[in-house]
A and B are shown apart, each in its own frame.
Chain A
Amino acid sequence: GQQVMQIPQYQHVQEGEDFTTYCNSSTTLSNIQWYKQRPGGHPVFLIQLVKSGEVKKQKRLTFQFGEAKKNSSLHITATQTTDVGTYFCAGYTSGTYKYIFGTGTRLKVLA
């Protein structure tokens, strides 16, 4: 079945450093979503990417969808302690009517 993998699994950074998580799908996606889950909380929607090669920015966060629509990345510039949490990508394949969540990347930011 479809698999969505993320790397790295964990990342510890010093506050102010940049952070990137990569998402790879075993199948071509129609669109991809990114979510953030704070410790003890539930996933919160961040963004959706639809077009091949699409890049979207939200303040310090930059999201990219690969040309082949099988991979995506989330880059955080100058991390802050509020960025702590687990970041999940979720891939949607047309006809399946469901999103498959990636394995997640847990980010810790050291002050």
Chain B
Amino acid sequence: GAVVSQHPSRVICKSGTSVKIECRSLDFQATTMFWYRQFPKQSLMLMATSNEGSKATYEQGVEKDKFLINHASLTLSTLTVTSAHPEDSSFYICSARDTGGDYNEQFFGPGTRLTVL
């Protein structure tokens, strides 16, 4: 199956700093990528839809100035958590949709665990 990588897998930062998370589709092109946030033992909450070459679409309640998304190429989307605070600590997962696949399925990255001190 298609592979999506995420980097870094874990990051610990001080409050007030910014953290960039990369999501790459390794063997397919993804015009659309999704960013999710998952709290322990909870479901995946869609934060935003990242579209190559255009602005991301944010879900209600997600601050676009705090969670900056850039989808500069067909294989890379980045999420930057700006001025991170302890309440931003979470598991962030990206997914990429293989529009050329049979099922239009989403392939998930391994996730990034962010801890803000």
- The chain A residues found within 8 Å of chain B, CB to CB, are 1, 33, 35, 41-45, 48, 88, 90, 97-104, 106
Contact = CB atoms under 8 A, between A and B. Distances in A.
Contact of B109 (A1, A42, A104): A42
Nearest to A42: B108
Contacts of A42: 93, 108-111
B14 to A, nearest CB: 26
A98 B49 contact: yes
Contacts of A90: 106
Interface magnitude class on chain B: 20 to 34
B43 A48 contact: no
A36 to B, nearest CB: 11
Interface of B: 1, 32, 34, 36, 41-46, 49, 60, 93, 95, 103-111
Interface of A is mostly: strand
Nearest to A100: B46
A23 to B, nearest CB: 12
A100 B42 CA distance: 14
B103 A103 contact: no
Contacts of B110: 41-42
Contacts of B44: 43, 88, 101
23 contacts: A33-B106, A35-B108, A42-B93, A42-B108, A42-B109, A42-B110, A43-B95, A44-B108, A45-B1, A45-B103, A48-B104, A88-B43, A90-B106, A97-B32, A98-B34, A99-B46, A100-B46, A101-B43, A101-B46, A102-B43, A103-B42, A103-B43, A104-B43
